[in-house]
Amino acid sequence: MKVPVPIRGRSRYLRDFAIAVLVAALLFIGSGVSLEDDFEISMSGGGIGRFLPDPWGAVLILCGSLPLTFRRVAPLTVFAVIVSASLGYRMLGYAPELLPVGVLIALYTVAVRRQPWVASVAGAVYIVTLMVETLTGWLPVTDDQFYIHLVSVVATVTLGYGVALGRARASLAEQRAAGMARDHAVLMRGAMEQEQARIAREVHDIVAHDVSVIVAQAATARRVSAAQPEKASEALVSIEAVGRDALDGLRHLVGLLRTRPDEGDRSPQPSLARLPWLLAQLERAGLPVTLTIEGEPCALPTTVELNAYRIIQEALTNSLKHAGPTRAWVTLTYEPDAVRVEVRDEGGGAVRQRVSTPGYGLISMQQRTAMLGGELVVGPRAGRGFGVSARLPVTGGTS
């Protein structure tokens, strides 16, 4: 089974093969050219026939160039093969090339794709080998040629290290950018989830409360429609008012979703100042409520006021739905560093259901209290009835 080579990898092989062919051509052309001590280039030998190497020389030139095709795959192996071919070419008496082009390209690849010390050791080994063989007389290398080789090797290692360092920095910058993008996505997702939860709480509190009042008043109107048409008419008027209020609340939430951050205040409207209106609405629906305020009333942060109002609203809505015919009491206590909200009723109703199978309303109260760092206690009261008590720190919101 053949494994297909990716197009990008195939193009790299083709590009490296083209470089290898070009190096081979340069070595063939330069095989008859030598650099004299006076830096003049002259033809070696006595004719054009000497300009081209014999078959053994051609084999060594190909061995010193064609392996560059695989320089990215095995840079050290390719470097060793090309150095061996280049030194062997010189040791057999062929005219040395002006520059060891194949050796320098292979060394550059080692410097780019391996650790800096690996390229330094490889270059040092090549220079030391060249020096030893020159001192022993195996290689006819002049001082100028040795100096050119030394400078070109140092320059190649330095260039390769610079390219590798630039690539490493670019890769690190890409990784940091990708990490920042992931962190930003996580933060955005968390913010969206929090906003969705907030909107869900607001929609539930508005719809659940107003629909519960409408249902209670509709039931009252149905019961008294025949015997007391005036009272039924009053209930229908109250249903209309509550319905309009629910529509206004929903329109307000939709407006908050459509408003851009720089367009006005996004804070929801309900506050503790609307408690008398809320209690009057519930009383018309059949739930008399007594409000008691303890302590010295003071201005509270907007978030604290909103969540205190919603907790009272949800607790009274649960009393209206589950407690049956009863009455309720709301106690609002202002403390130096917190506001305490207590809602209790004396009805029996579905007390066990309210505790054992909490709906979204109880979850909403828990979330609102936890968001402000407060405490919530919910459960049946001693004797009869049900109670909700929440303590909301004043520092939990911003004014």
CA distance 82 to 156: 16
Mean pLDDT score across all residues of the chain: 76
pLDDT of residue 341: 93
Averaged pLDDT for residues 93-103: 74
Could you tell me if 352 and 219 lie in one domain?
yes
Range 261-269 average pLDDT? 50
Q: For residue range 218-228, what is the model confidence (pLDDT) as tens digits? A: 777 777 777 77
Can you tell me whether residue 138 is helix, strand or coil? coil
Confidence band for 327, pLDDT divided at 50, 70 and 90: confident
User: What's the rounded Cα separation, in Å, for the pair 105 and 159?
Assistant: 11
Residue 296 has pLDDT above 50, yes or no: yes
Residues 212 and 315 occupy one common structural domain: yes
> What does the block give as tokens for 61?
């030139």
> In the predicted model, is pLDDT for residue 352 greater than 70?
no
3 state SS of 95: coil
pLDDT for res 39 = 40
Strands (E), the chain: 33-35, 41-43, 289-294, 328-334, 338-345, 375-380, 386-393
User: Do 300 and 206 share a domain, yes or no?
Assistant: yes
Contact 76, 118 (CB under 8 A): yes
In this structure, the answer to whether residues 240 and 335 fall within a common structural domain is yes
175-220 pLDDT per residue, tens: 888 888 888 888 888 877 877 777 777 776 666 667 777 777 777 7
pLDDT band at 3 (very low <50, low <70, confident <90, very high): very low
pLDDT mean over 246-267: 59
Tokens of 52: 């081209």
Q: Is the pLDDT of residue 349 over 70?
A: no
- Alpha-carbon distance 293 to 308, whole Å? 13
**What per-residue confidence (pLDDT) applies to 332?**
92
pLDDT at 340: 92
The confidence score (pLDDT) of residue 359 equals 63
Do 24 and 135 reside in the same domain of the chain?
yes
Q: pTM for this one?
A: 0.45
State residue 99's pLDDT score.
Answer: 75
Measured CA to CA, the distance from residue 223 to residue 229 in angstroms comes to 10
- Domain total of the chain: 2
Segments forming the whole domain that contains residue 358: 184-396
Residues 225 and 314 in one domain: yes
Domain end position, chosen among 122, 141, 160: 141
